[in-house]
Structure 1
Amino acid sequence: MDNSSLKQRLERLECHFTWDLGQHRNELQGMKRKMQNVDQETCTWPVHYYNLLGYIHQTLGSNSEAVKHLHKAESVIQEQGTEEAGVQLQVNKANLAWVYFHLGEMNKSKGYLEEVERLQRMHPAPPGCTLHPEVSGEKGWTLVRFNKSKKRQAIDYFKMALNAEPDRKEWHKGLAIAMNTAYIWSEFTPELDADILEQVKTASEIDPNDLFLQSLYILRKSKAQAENNEEEVQSILERTLSTGNLDGLGFIFEYFRLISFERAIQEGQRIREKFPDSTTVLKILADLYKRKVYSMKEDSQERQAWAQKGIELFEEVVRDNPDSVRGWISLASLHCYAHNTERADEIYQQLLSEKDDLPPHTQQFLYYSYSCHLYYNKQSRDQYQRRQSRDPYQRRQSRDQSIDYLMKAAAIQNTSEDRQKSIMLLKKTVKNGRHSRCEEISKFLKIVLKDE
């Protein structure tokens, strides 16, 4: 078998290397750091964990690490000794076949390929199923960790797995997570909200000990039914702290923030004292400080002081995760509130210089955020400079650049909140009719929206 024939057979396999996960370094580096923070002793999804890490390491060029993690997944599957092991090994060994193909070890690659094909014959998909539910579920769990377009696909694969195994709690949890995060704000309807709430409720009832699901359910129920569930949330928080499993902590603090920033920040500071090394707690507390600053409408020394506290926390966030574009942009935003606009400019210029390493949805977020920075923050500084120089050119330049970056975000054909907001602002500009570029913007919108 020549290399071309081998590759054609490999491309027909179901595994991480054929699931079109993307090869954007920024996204994969960030995902790798998050996964390395997972406690491997208490990890409830070790097979998914090691398989995905294997793919990430190989894509980032660490072939030896990829092989190591894929063999760990293989060991976990074999140790479990479950009925599903033969099917789980199909994905795992297909990944190994691909890694050895990339390493140029064609005989090993061919050997794993033949093992996969043998396992496929031994464990075919049930009647009426395109994929075996174990393969469909593994694919769903992988896709749900990527962007919204992949999460949409994950919904279909979890539903496919549930059609064959309607009581499987892993597939119900995956479907709840995917549905909770797959849609943008403009797509929500009362019917969709009700469907998501029902799925989250079902998943939480099937696995009442899963604090992630319990936290997500109480948050969604509180929003949908305008209920006061403070005692129940506090109980879940205390259970979370006693177990040290912080997966659902973000949902708990979203609930507290709906009550008051003061309550949320007080709890956040308490938990930071208990878990000083937790990156999860750090991000939550940093985000609370940022949102507190955003909620303060008037510029004041108090707001600047809160912004400075937020800056200190986000400096830690980006030090722990330098690939976090959202972390860097939050830091830039707080620098503006603290009147350090030059530092914010530096952060944006660094991010823009690395834009080619970003996946489409992150590029859209960067362009939209920078457009807002140009319009609101740089313009404020330019107005001060203009009063000194009596030169209006800088203000026009900032506005024109702001429009340019809205157009950059809108031009990327990827569904996201940031693209929707960019299009909305461009339409508003045309409707107002006062900008010199209205005709250009109108033509641009007709082109990018022609198929929508």
Structure 2
Amino acid sequence: MMSAAESLESKLEALQSHFTWDLDPRRSKLFRLKDNLEDIGTEEDNIWLGPIYNLQGFIHYKLGFMEEARAFFSRATEAFQQLKTTDEGPWLVVNYGNLAWLHHHTGEDEKSQDFLSKVDALMNKYPAPIKGELHLEVCAEKAWTLMKFDNEKKLQAAEYFQKAIRMEPNTVLWQTSRVLALVSASKHSDSGLDDDIWEDMRVARMEDPKNLYLAAVELKESARRGEQIRDEAQELAEKILLNPVSSYRGLKPLLRSYRQIDAFHEAIDLAERALNEHPDSRYLKRCAALCYKWKIIFSKDRRPNERMISRAIGLYEEVISLYPQSSLVKQLDLANIQAKSGQGLMKSDQTYKKLLREVQDPADKQMIYNSYAKYLNFERQERNKSVEYHMKATAINHQSFFRQNSIKALEKIRDRGRNRMCREITEFLEKLEILQKVNRQ
């Protein structure tokens, strides 16, 4: 017979909750998620405000900030009640489940049991439209949450949105979100979007014409397919700038549309214009910094002038200070921009050595190795050392864009046959292929 504690644990494990959805990101990823959620903003008309607060609560719990977690879960309750204009409903199932778990983890099992009872009452009063399935509101929140994680979870998110849509086909937001999950999962695909997803996005745009983020994502994909987008981009920019600052308004994918057509100056001008209207927005500073990076690192034009590089460095230094716990990518960007300045490579070298020494998380280390390998190749012309760091990135058993990028770099060097390390590269890649086959078995 189970003890009371075991019985409680069993009931908690059966809940639909962030605590049971296999969300166990690394600490550095938690900080990035936390900042990304903050950049969405807290506009009261945001239909995802409840899920945002729920996820923030879970993130703060994972980071060890219990009181902050409790506060965010309470805000989620309030947000759901305000958005739904009622005190109860199936949309509170996940939130109450989270509170049940949090009270259990803080030793308040009576309160935990109270929230378990509330979950049971809601599920009895609001059964799922399809027997044996999750309630559509639970499906939608689970889907939205999974979208914030890796590609595998983004594909799961699309499936959960599809389940919710089957139960309630007229909810346009879920249709849009499903498409965005699929697009996001395809972000690093060499071939771009599948035609089926592209068609789904076109349909979603017709169904959700006021969604500026979706419009910007579609524009970016149109640019990738070689379509002319400038006029539409300018029109969309005006609409985006009329809205409050939020990462959900579509500015960043619109800027990426300009990058897609090598219109770096237009991207910079738009980002600076937005920043001029909201000079204290850290998110807009982040967007502007990104545009300068594109121009300085990727432009095929003549070397950027020192004034532009100075502006980029200033923005990046400010962004790093505004995102102190989630700025690793920005620190790498800054090092690569500093390398393009007339001041030499000393600062870039110092940044890379500091990060190589201090960062311990394997996935983050992999990203640093990949970036450093390219820096060594293109800025320092240290080809053999570059190969060594591509190997280091590849050797870390974490599937990511950076690992694949390093593998492709090594394959390209091997196939050219001009590097004295070609034999070592060949042996390394052969061993890697054997290991991958073993892991797949």
Give the TM-score normalised by the residue count of structure 2: 0.87
Alpha carbons of structure 1 residues 187 and 57: separation in structure 2 relative to 1, 3 Å: same
Cα distance, 1:348 vs structure 2: 2.6
Contact between 1:293 and 1:303, CA under 8 Å: does it hold in 2?
Answer: no
Alpha carbons of structure 1 residues 265 and 41: separation in structure 2 relative to 1, 3 Å: closer
Q: Which residue in 2 is equivalent to 1:39?
A: 41
Match of residue 30, structure 2, among 11, 24, 28: 28
Cα distance, 1:137 vs structure 2: 0.7
- 2:424 paired with 1:437: yes
- 2:278 paired with 1:294: no
Q: Which residue in 2 is equivalent to 1:344?
A: 348
Question: Residue type of the partner of 1:315?
Answer: E
Q: Which residue in 2 is equivalent to 1:244?
A: 244
Which of the pair is proportionally richer in helix?
Answer: 1
Contact between 1:141 and 1:154, CA under 8 Å: does it hold in 2?
Answer: yes
Question: Residue type of the partner of 2:346?
Answer: E
Distance in 1, Cα, partners of 2:365 & 2:328: 9
Contact between 1:54 and 1:66, CA under 8 Å: does it hold in 2?
Answer: yes
Cα distance, 1:355 vs structure 2: 3.7
Contact between 2:18 and 2:58, CA under 8 Å: does it hold in 1?
Answer: yes
Match of residue 328, structure 2, among 325, 330, 340: 325
- 2:398 paired with 1:422: no
Q: Which residue in 1 is equivalent to 2:95?
A: 92
Secondary structure class of the residue paired with 2:279: coil
Distance in 2, Cα, partners of 1:27 & 1:207: 31
Match of residue 153, structure 1, among 141, 152, 156: 156
Q: Which residue in 1 is equivalent to 2:388?
A: 401
Distance in 1, Cα, partners of 2:190 & 2:126: 39
- 2:117 paired with 1:114: yes
- Residues 223-261 of structure 1, C-alpha deviations (whole Å, 9 max, x = no match): 33x333333322221122122345201122223332622
Match of residue 254, structure 1, among 253, 256, 266: 256
Distance in 1, Cα, partners of 2:227 & 2:350: 44
Question: Residue type of the partner of 1:14?
Answer: Q
- 2:165 paired with 1:162: yes
Secondary structure class of the residue paired with 1:6: helix
Cα distance, 1:363 vs structure 2: 4.4
Q: Which runs of 5+ in 2 are unaligned?
A: none
Cα distance, 1:138 vs structure 2: 0.2
Question: Residue type of the partner of 2:349?
Answer: D
Q: Which runs of 5+ in 1 are unaligned?
A: 381-394
Contact between 1:332 and 1:347, CA under 8 Å: does it hold in 2?
Answer: yes
- 2:218 paired with 1:217: yes
- Residues 136-193 of structure 1, C-alpha deviations (whole Å, 9 max, x = no match): 110111111122232122111111111111221221121122111102544636xx43
Q: Which moved more, 1:323-332 or 1:35-44?
A: 35-44
Distance in 2, Cα, partners of 1:317 & 1:437: 40
Contact between 2:100 and 2:111, CA under 8 Å: does it hold in 1?
Answer: yes
Distance in 2, Cα, partners of 1:250 & 1:122: 42
- Residues 18-57 of structure 1, C-alpha deviations (whole Å, 9 max, x = no match): 1122242212122222333443234502111111111111
Q: Which residue in 1 is equivalent to 2:371?
A: 369
Count the aligned residue pairs: 428
Alpha carbons of structure 1 residues 36 and 277: separation in structure 2 relative to 1, 3 Å: same
Q: Which residue in 1 is equivalent to 2:313?
A: 311
Secondary structure class of the residue paired with 1:26: helix
Q: Which moved more, 1:103-112 or 1:431-440?
A: 431-440
CA RMSD across the alignment: 2.7
Alpha carbons of structure 1 residues 237 and 81: separation in structure 2 relative to 1, 3 Å: closer
Question: Residue type of the partner of 1:198?
Answer: E
Q: Which residue in 1 is equivalent to 2:11?
A: 9
Greater relative contact order, per chain length (Cα 8 Å cut-off, separation 6+): 1
Alpha carbons of structure 1 residues 145 and 35: separation in structure 2 relative to 1, 3 Å: same
Distance in 2, Cα, partners of 1:84 & 1:366: 48
Identity %: 32
Contact between 1:152 and 1:182, CA under 8 Å: does it hold in 2?
Answer: yes
Secondary structure class of the residue paired with 2:379: helix
Secondary structure class of the residue paired with 2:242: helix
- Residues 102-133 of structure 1, C-alpha deviations (whole Å, 9 max, x = no match): 10111111221222123223323222663111
Distance in 2, Cα, partners of 1:117 & 1:352: 50
Distance in 2, Cα, partners of 1:198 & 1:250: 22
Alpha carbons of structure 1 residues 241 and 355: separation in structure 2 relative to 1, 3 Å: same
Distance in 2, Cα, partners of 1:428 & 1:113: 56
Secondary structure class of the residue paired with 1:337: coil
Q: Which residue in 2 is equivalent to 1:52?
A: 55
Contact between 1:151 and 1:178, CA under 8 Å: does it hold in 2?
Answer: yes
Distance in 2, Cα, partners of 1:3 & 1:203: 47
Q: Which residue in 1 is equivalent to 2:234?
A: 234
Question: Residue type of the partner of 2:79?
Answer: V
Contact between 1:406 and 1:426, CA under 8 Å: does it hold in 2?
Answer: no
Q: Which residue in 1 is equivalent to 2:196?
A: 195
Match of residue 105, structure 1, among 108, 118, 135: 108
Question: Residue type of the partner of 1:332?
Answer: A
Give the TM-score normalised by the residue count of structure 1: 0.85
Secondary structure class of the residue paired with 1:173: helix
Contact between 2:12 and 2:101, CA under 8 Å: does it hold in 1?
Answer: yes
Distance in 2, Cα, partners of 1:376 & 1:255: 26
Distance in 1, Cα, partners of 2:236 & 2:53: 29
Cα distance, 1:79 vs structure 2: 3.7
Alpha carbons of structure 1 residues 305 and 72: separation in structure 2 relative to 1, 3 Å: closer
Q: Which moved more, 1:10-19 or 1:120-129?
A: 120-129
Cα distance, 1:15 vs structure 2: 0.8
